[in-house]
Amino acid sequence: MIVLDACVLIAFLNSGDAHHARARRLMAETAGHRRGASPMTIAEILVGPTRAGHLDVARDALAQLKVGQVLLGPDAPQRLARLRVDTGLKLPDCCVLLAAQDATAEAIATLDDRLIKAAGLLGFALVPDR
């Protein structure tokens, strides 16, 4: 499974986003792999479309992209707190790392430099941005 960060999907779904081309490349690299995201990540992705009255369109797009929800374990609060302390990342980014841990992910796809660095330090492979 490839765990996706919200920034990738937000940019992919918005052709006007400054990172749209990079997000398209990352999504192309993940074609043929199972894709997943934490509940927090999915919520982040849905905020803009919900605000714009397009929640159903965004949910359909996620389903079409076959982005599954990675459920976090019952000890998620404690593990998220530890990741927050250890990495200095904000909780949404820690949710990406925890989802990758819980899903035993092959890699993480993100455009966020701080998350890239933390993922590398924790031993996660990254989807190449070619």
Helix (H) or strand (E) holding 121: helix 113-121
18 C-beta neighbours (distance < 10 Å), count: 9
The predicted structure's pLDDT at residue 128: 85
Per-residue confidence (pLDDT) for residue 35, from 0 to 100? 98
Q: Which two tokens stand for residue 128?
A: 């190449």
User: For residues 95 and 110, is the Cβ–Cβ distance under 8 A?
Assistant: no
pLDDT of residue 59: 96
- Write down the pLDDT at residue 130: 56
List domains and CATH numbers for the chain: 2-121 (3.40.50.1010)
Q: What is the pTM of this model?
A: 0.94
> Residue 129's pLDDT is what?
66
What pLDDT was estimated at residue 7?
A: 97
Q: Mean pLDDT per 10-residue run, the chain (130 residues)?
A: 97 96 95 96 97 96 96 96 98 98 96 96 87
